[in-house]
Structure 1
Amino acid sequence: MVKLKLGPLSDEKPIKITLELPASLHRDLALYAEILGRVTGQPAADPVRLIVPMLQRFIATDRGFAKTRNEASAQRGAAADSEAERR
């Protein structure tokens, strides 16, 4: 059995955006959707539906981003605490 990074796709209300992809990337997305459908036992999803979960997975597993996001969040929290103390 193939181990893919994506699991079944959730059925959330989408927000429309316009995006141009290279043809080779679209072909890879279509193939990924086909393989994902076989692995999960679901019909192949529209390749466009893979973009959001792939981006979410990428961001969730990017350690550098997580570290920087946490540092920025801590700095914002410290700034908010400082502001509250001045009041």
Structure 2
Amino acid sequence: MRARWIAAALLLVALDVYLIGWHWQDVGGNVEAQFIISTPQFIALHLLAKRRAERHQAEVHQRLDAQDETLAANHAKVTEIHQQLTD
């Protein structure tokens, strides 16, 4: 299945190269228009992906901080119990 996707992608890239290289007069205007249309979409998607990644990273850090607090509390309890047993 993966090989089919790779083959399809290579075929599409080859078609792009052929059309741009040998038929620029026919497709040039459309290629330029597509760049104009795609640029704002690319920027918006990049900014959204960055925002999601930052939010996810903040959530992970928050969970890790909560785990650290839990571990520190457990360590304090274990230390207290150990001191009680050794006294």
TM-score (norm 1): 0.38
Greater helix share, 1 or 2? 2
TM-score (norm 2): 0.38
Q: Which has the higher contact order (CA 8 A, sep 6+)?
A: 1
Structure (1 or 2) with the larger CA radius of gyration: 2
